Amino acid sequence: RRFMEAVTEGTGAAADDLAGTARFPGAAGLSVYANAYLERLIGCLEESFPAVARATGADAFRGLAVDYLRACPPTGPTLASLGAGFPRHLAATRPVEAADWAECLVELACYERAIEEVFDGPGSEGEAPVSAETLVDLTPDAWASSRLVPSPALRLLRLVFPVDDYWGAIRAL
């Protein structure tokens, strides 16, 4: 959190801890990155959640992203998991006065996060798929002792809103 504050605002205790020179203090060097780093993080979130960004509009999405980044700054060595908590954050901070719209955005964010997890996460690579012929040839006793194991990429979502239709329409643009 201290580093995020220092990088995005050029202030805070972490900025005071940076080495620098008399002509160029550490905090001054850090301020070079202040806007660029925050914009990069917002851009990463927008890449992960393009339909949410489109549904909210650029300014509103930026506000949601900055609020999320302040509450949940990046912690990993890469930005791959940057948006992992974004749907939960939206759910926890959604306005009550726009309940249906906010819930739709949360579902859309959950849907987009699931797509990213499936695309980038582990799957069944290297495992032979079960063929229909294999299943047809199983005896009743073999069926009783068989266990079908879903792919690690499987994600089940309970959605009220047709976010998959919206997401598909956005992708088609």
* pLDDT of 14 over the 70 cut: no
Q: Which residue has the higher pLDDT, 28 or 60?
A: 60
- pLDDT tens column, 66-100: 999 999 988 888 888 999 999 999 999 988 778 89
Per residue in 110-143, pLDDT tens?
999 999 999 988 888 888 888 888 889 899 999 8
Please compute the mean of the pLDDT values over residues 43-57 and round it to a whole number.
Answer: 96
Q: For residue 34, what pLDDT is reported?
A: 67
Query: Which whole number is the average pLDDT over 15-29?
Result: 70
Report how far residue 6's alpha carbon sits from residue 11's, in angstroms, rounded to the nearest whole number: 5
Q: Which of 19, 15, 81 is nearest to 45 (CA)?
A: 81
Tokens matching residue 158:
């309970």
Please report the pLDDT score of residue 128 as a whole number: 83
Question: At residue 11, does pLDDT exceed 70?
Answer: no
Cα dihedral across residues 142, 150, 167, 158: positive or negative: positive
Please, what is the average pLDDT of the chain?
A: 87
Q: What is the share, in percent, of the chain residues with pLDDT greater than 90?
A: 50
Q: Please check whether residue 143 is in contact with residue 115, taking contact to mean a CB–CB distance below 8 angstroms.
A: no
For residue 149, which phi and psi values (nearest 5 degrees)? Answer: -115, 120
From the centroid of its chain, how far is CA 112?
8
